[in-house]
C-alpha cells in the first residue's frame, strides 16, 4: 500500500495514481490480469462455455454424484417432452382448420394430440421444479467445497508466500471466486435447460422449413456478441477495483479494531481514515459507473441489431406461408417453435454471458490454488532428533522484484536453546 502525493507542476502524474491529496492505493507490480482479460476474443469466450459447464458438473460430481446424474436426466427428458409438445400442436390445429365448420369428429380427432400436448406441458413443469430443487441442493455444497480447497491450499503454502507481490491481492480475487461458485451450477443448469428447449424447438422448426433455423441463429448473433462483451467489461471492472476493495477492508479494520481504538479517538485519525475511505469508495464508484454505461451501450446496440434481424425472420416466415411453402396448420407450430427457439437462444446467450463472467472469477480461484501449490511446505514423515546447533550457511535472499540478491553468502547459526530471528538485510550479518 502506498501514499501517492498530489502531483505538482514539476511532478507528472503516473498511470498508477489519480490526482488527489495523498491518495492511499495498493500498487502491485507485475499484475497483468486486466491486460489478459482485455485480450480475450469473443470467439474464445464462446469456446469456453462447454469447459465451464464441465467444470460446474465436475464440482457438483465431487459433492453429490446422484444429484448431478438426476439433473442431467431431468434436462434431457424436458427437451424430449418439449419436442413432443410442439409436434402435437400441429395435430391439434390441423383438424380444427380443415373446414370452416368444426364438427364433433374433428374435435374428437384432435383429442389425442391435445392430451399429449397437455401432458407434456404438465410434466415439463414438474421437471422444472425438480431441476430447481436439485440446483438449490448442490449450489451451497459446491461453494463450501471450493472454499475448503482454497483454504487447504492457502494453509499449506509457505509463510514467505505472503511476501510475494500480488499474493494477497490474488487471494482476494480467489475468495471472490468462492463467493460466485454457488452460482456456477445454477447458471450451467439454466444453460442446459435453454439448450434442451432450443434443440427440441430447432428440430421441429427444421421439420417445418429448413431455412427458418439458420435465419434465427443469425438473428441471435448480435445479441450474443453484445452480452459476452458486456460480461467481460463487468469482470474487468471488478479486477480494476480489487485493490481499492482491499484498501476499504483495511481502513474498516483501522477504524473499528479495539487495539487501536484509543489512538483513533484521542487523536485526529478518525477524520483522516474516513476521508481515505470516501476517496477509495469514490474510485470504485467511478470505475463501476464507467463499466455500467459501456455495458449498457453495447447491449443497446446488440439488442437493436437483434431486433431488426428477428424482424427479417418473421418476414421470411410470412413469405413462405404466402408462397405455399408452409401450410396453415404448420404455421401455428412454426409460430410456437420460432418463439421457443428465440427464447432458447436468448437463454443460452444471457446465461452464457453470466456463466462466462462467473468462470473468470473461478479462473482466479483455480490460479491461486495452483500458485499456492508452488509454495507448498515440504515436510518429512518423521520428526528429526533434537539438534544441538542450528546453522545455516550461504544464505541468499532476493526480493521478487529485484534484479539481484540482497544478502549473499551469509552465515547464521547458534545453539538450539537460543531463539534467533532473521529478516531483511540488517539482520543477516
Q: Is residue 334 domain-shared with residue 405, that is, in the same domain?
A: no
Buried b (16+ CB within 10 A) or exposed e, 200-228: bbbbbbebbbeebbebbbebbebbbbbbb
154 within 8 A of 115, measured Cβ to Cβ: no
Q: Is residue 337 domain-shared with residue 395, that is, in the same domain?
A: no
pLDDT, average across residues 281-290:
91
What is the pLDDT confidence band of residue 285, given thresholds at 50, 70 and 90?
Answer: very high
The confidence score (pLDDT) of residue 41 equals 63
Flag whether 292 is in a domain.
no
- Which helix (H) or strand (E) covers residue 389, if one does? strand 389-395
The confidence score (pLDDT) of residue 286 equals 92
The model's pLDDT over 249-261, given as tens digits with 9 standing for 90+, comes to: 888 888 887 787 7
- Say how far apart CA 189 and CA 269 lie, in whole Å: 50
Flag whether 92 is in a domain.
yes
Flag whether 147 is in a domain.
yes
Flag whether 308 is in a domain.
no
Model confidence at 426: pLDDT above 50 = no
Least confident of 27-31, 150-154, 336-340, 356-360: 27-31
The confidence score (pLDDT) of residue 18 equals 39
- What are the C-alpha distances in Å from 76 to residues 199, 219, 254, 270, 408? 10, 26, 54, 59, 65
The model's pLDDT over 388-419, given as tens digits with 9 standing for 90+, comes to: 777 777 777 777 667 777 666 566 666 655 54
The confidence score (pLDDT) of residue 23 equals 63
In degrees and rounded to multiples of 5, residue 421 shows phi and psi of: -125, 140
DSSP secondary structure code for residue 418 in this structure: S
Q: Is residue 126 domain-shared with residue 186, that is, in the same domain?
A: yes
The confidence score (pLDDT) of residue 39 equals 60
CB-neighbour burial class of residue 42 (10 A; exposed 0-12, middle 13-18, buried 19+): middle
Cell numbers linked to 151: 483454504
pLDDT, average across residues 344-356:
76
Model confidence at 303: pLDDT above 90 = no
Q: Is residue 340 domain-shared with residue 395, that is, in the same domain?
A: no
- What are the C-alpha distances in Å from 382 to residues 377, 378, 379? 15, 12, 9
Q: Is residue 177 domain-shared with residue 77, that is, in the same domain?
A: yes
The confidence score (pLDDT) of residue 312 equals 84
pLDDT, average across residues 219-247:
80
What is the pLDDT confidence band of residue 289, given thresholds at 50, 70 and 90?
Answer: very high
Buried b (16+ CB within 10 A) or exposed e, 312-341: ebeeebeebbeeeebbebbbbbbebbbebb
- Say how far apart CA 217 and CA 316 lie, in whole Å: 14
Model confidence at 293: pLDDT above 90 = yes
Flag whether 286 is in a domain.
no
270 CA to centre of own chain: 37
Q: Is residue 179 domain-shared with residue 124, that is, in the same domain?
A: yes
Cell numbers linked to 272: 483522516
Q: Is residue 126 domain-shared with residue 75, that is, in the same domain?
A: yes
Q: Is residue 116 domain-shared with residue 200, that is, in the same domain?
A: yes
CB-neighbour burial class of residue 343 (10 A; exposed 0-12, middle 13-18, buried 19+): middle
Q: Is residue 329 domain-shared with residue 416, that is, in the same domain?
A: no
Cell numbers linked to 418: 537460543
Flag whether 307 is in a domain.
no
The model's pLDDT over 361-382, given as tens digits with 9 standing for 90+, comes to: 888 888 888 888 777 777 667 7
What is the pLDDT confidence band of residue 106, given thresholds at 50, 70 and 90?
Answer: low
Which residue range(s) make up the domain with 402? 390-422
What is the pLDDT confidence band of residue 422, given thresholds at 50, 70 and 90?
Answer: very low
The confidence score (pLDDT) of residue 27 equals 56
Model confidence at 429: pLDDT above 50 = no
pLDDT, average across residues 91-104:
60
Flag whether 406 is in a domain.
yes
* CATH at 84: 1.20.1560
Model confidence at 424: pLDDT above 50 = no
Flag whether 294 is in a domain.
no
pTM metric for this prediction:
0.60
- Say how far apart CA 248 and CA 202 lie, in whole Å: 50
The confidence score (pLDDT) of residue 31 equals 53
Mean pLDDT, the chain, rounded, equals 75
CA angle 227–78–357, rounded 5-degree value: 25
Q: Is residue 396 domain-shared with residue 331, that is, in the same domain?
A: no
Number of domains in the chain: 2
Q: Is residue 360 domain-shared with residue 394, that is, in the same domain?
A: no
Higher pLDDT: 28 or 267? It is: 267
Nearest of 229, 214, 246 to residue 43 by alpha carbon: 229
DSSP for 318-347, please give it.
Answer: HHHHHTTSS-HHHHHHHHHHHHHHHHHHHH
Amino acid at each position: 500500500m502506498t501514499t501517492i502525493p498530489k502531483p505538482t507542476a514539476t511532478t507528472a502524474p503516473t498511470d498508477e495514481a489519480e490526482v488527489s491529496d495523498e491518495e492511499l492505493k495498493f500498487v502491485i507490480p507485475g499484475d497483468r490480469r486486466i491486460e489478459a482479460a482485455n485480450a480475450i476474443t469473443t470467439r474464445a469466450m464462446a469456446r469456453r462455455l462447454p469447459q465451464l459447464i464441465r467444470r460446474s458438473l465436475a464440482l457438483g460430481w465431487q459433492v453429490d454424484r446422484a444429484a448431478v446424474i438426476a439433473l442431467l436426466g431431468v434436462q434431457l427428458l424436458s427437451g424430449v417432452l418439449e419436442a413432443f409438445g410442439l409436434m402435437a400442436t400441429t395435430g391439434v390445429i390441423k383438424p380444427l382448420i380443415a373446414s370452416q365448420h368444426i364438427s364433433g369428429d374433428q374435435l374428437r380427432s384432435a383429442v389425442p394430440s391435445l392430451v399429449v400436448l397437455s401432458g407434456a406441458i404438465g410434466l415439463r413443469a414438474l421437471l422444472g421444479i425438480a431441476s430447481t430443487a436439485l440446483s438449490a441442493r448442490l449450489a451451497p455444497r459446491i461453494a463450501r467445497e471450493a472454499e475448503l480447497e482454497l483454504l487447504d491450499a492457502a494453509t499449506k503454502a509457505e509463510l514467505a508466500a505472503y511476501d510475494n507481490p500480488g499474493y494477497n491481492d490474488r487471494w482476494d480475487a480467489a475468495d471472490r471466486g468462492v463467493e460466485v461458485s454457488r452460482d456456477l451450477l445454477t447458471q450451467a443448469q439454466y444453460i442446459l435447460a435453454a439448450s434442451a428447449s432450443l434443440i427440441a424447438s430447432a428440430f421441429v422448426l427444421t421439420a417445418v422449413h429448413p431455412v427458418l433455423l439458420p435465419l434465427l441463429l443469425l438473428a441471435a448473433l448480435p445479441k450474443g456478441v453484445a452480452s459476452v462483451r458486456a460480461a467481460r467489461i463487468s469482470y474487468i471492472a471488478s479486477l480494476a477495483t480489487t485493490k481499492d476493495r482491499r484498501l476499504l477492508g483495511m481502513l474498516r479494520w483501522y477504524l473499528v479494531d479495539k487495539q487501536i481504538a484509543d489512538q483513533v479517538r484521542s487523536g485526529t485519525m478518525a477524520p483522516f481514515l474516513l476521508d481515505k475511505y470516501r476517496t477509495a469508495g469514490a474510485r470504485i464508484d467511478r470505475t463501476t459507473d464507467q463499466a455500467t454505461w459501456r455495458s449498457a451501450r453495447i447491449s443497446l446496440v446488440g439488442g437493436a441489431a437483434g431486433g431488426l434481424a428477428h424482424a427479417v425472420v418473421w418476414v421470411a416466415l410470412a413469405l413462405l406461408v404466402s408462397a405455399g411453402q408452409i401450410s396453415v396448420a404448420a404455421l401455428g407450430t412454426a409460430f410456437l417453435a420460432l418463439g421457443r427457439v428465440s427464447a432458447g437462444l436468448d437463454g443460452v446467450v444471457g446465461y452464457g454471458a453470466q456463466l462466462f463472467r462467473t468462470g473468470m472469477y473461478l479462473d482466479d480461484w483455480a490460479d491461486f490454488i495452483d500458485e499456492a501449490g508452488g509454495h507448498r511446505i515440504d515436510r518429512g514423515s518423521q520428526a528429526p532428533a533434537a539438534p544441538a546447533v542450528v546453522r545455516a550457511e550461504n544464505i541468499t535472499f532476493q526480493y521478487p522484484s529485484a534484479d539481484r540478491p540482497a544478502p549473499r553468502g551469509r552465515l547464521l547459526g547458534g545453539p538450539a536453546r537460543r531463539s534467533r530471528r532473521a529478516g531483511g538485510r540488517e539482520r543477516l550479518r
